[in-house]
A and B are shown apart, each in its own frame.
Chain A
Amino acid sequence: GAVVSQHPSWVICKSGTSVKIECRSLDFQATTMFWYRQFPKQSLMLMATSNEGSKATYEQGVEKDKFLINHASLTLSTLTVTSAHPEDSSFYICSAREGAGLTDTQYFGPGTRLTVL
């Protein structure tokens, strides 16, 4: 099956620093990538949708200047958490979809655990 990787798998940083998380589709080209965050015992919440070469579409309530998304190629998307604060500590998961339709399967990465001290 299709594989999506994320790097790093976990990161601890000081408050005020920026953190970049990479999401790669390893064996397919992803026309669309999605970024989610999950708080403990809560559901995955979609943060933004990105298509290769265009600006990401952010969900309501997600600060685009704080969570910078770059979908530079069909196999790579990055999420940068700028000026991270403790409330940004969460589990961030990306997913990638090869086709353009809803019924095309989203393949999820293993997630990145961010802890901001």
Chain B
Amino acid sequence: DQQVKQNSPSLSVQEGRISILNCDYTNSMFDYFLWYKKYPAEGPTFLISISSIKDKNEDGRFTVFLNKSAKHLSLHIVPSQPGDSAVYFCAASRVNFGNEKLTFGTGTRLTIIP
């Protein structure tokens, strides 16, 4: 049962344009969401997060949008740069002290075309 889904396994975007990565979840109890970036043969690195009390969080070129009613979140990267080429995972969790585990999506491979 895949509770966090990233339906696009890959995405190609021209350098300088906006990259939009999407993520859907099914568990309405999730209330904290994160995006991670992963290069080959490396572990994921944290990018940005958002709590369910917000609908937008921005950090430099990265913005995460949350639509709770649609159980959907997206990561916007603008402008896209070649170094952004990587696999992006969204993750979700439920704040439950003592049991804050992350449920990951399957990832989207982003390729930035120079």
A-B contact count (CB 8 A): 53
Smallest Cβ-Cβ distance to B2: which chain A residue: A43
A2 smallest CB distance to B (angstroms): 10
On whether the beta carbons of A43 and B42 are closer than 8 Å, the reply is: no
Within 8 Å by CB of A42, from B41, B97, B100, B106, lies: B106
Which single member of B4, B45, B101, B105 contacts A108 (CB below 8 Å)? B45
Query: Of residues 71 to 117 in A, which have CB atoms within 8 Å of B's CB atoms?
Result: 93, 95, 101-103, 105-111
Tell me whether chain B's interface is mostly helix, strand or loop, or mixed. loop
Q: List 7 A-B contacts (CB under 8 A).
A: A34-B101, A43-B105, A49-B101, A103-B49, A106-B46, A110-B42, A111-B41
Q: Which of A6, A41, A42, A44 contacts B44 (CB 8 A)?
A: A44
Is A46 an interface residue when CB atoms closer than 8 A count as contact? yes
Of the four ranges (under 10, 10 to 19, 20 to 34, 35 or more), the interface on chain B belongs to 20 to 34
Within 8 A of A (CB), among B9-40: 9, 32, 36
In the complex, which residues of chain A have a beta carbon less than 8 angstroms from the beta carbon of B103? 46
| CB-defined contacts of A108 to chain B, threshold 8 Å | 36, 43-45
Contact A111 B49 (CB under 8 A): no
> Cβ of A102 and Cβ of B43 under 8 Å apart?
no
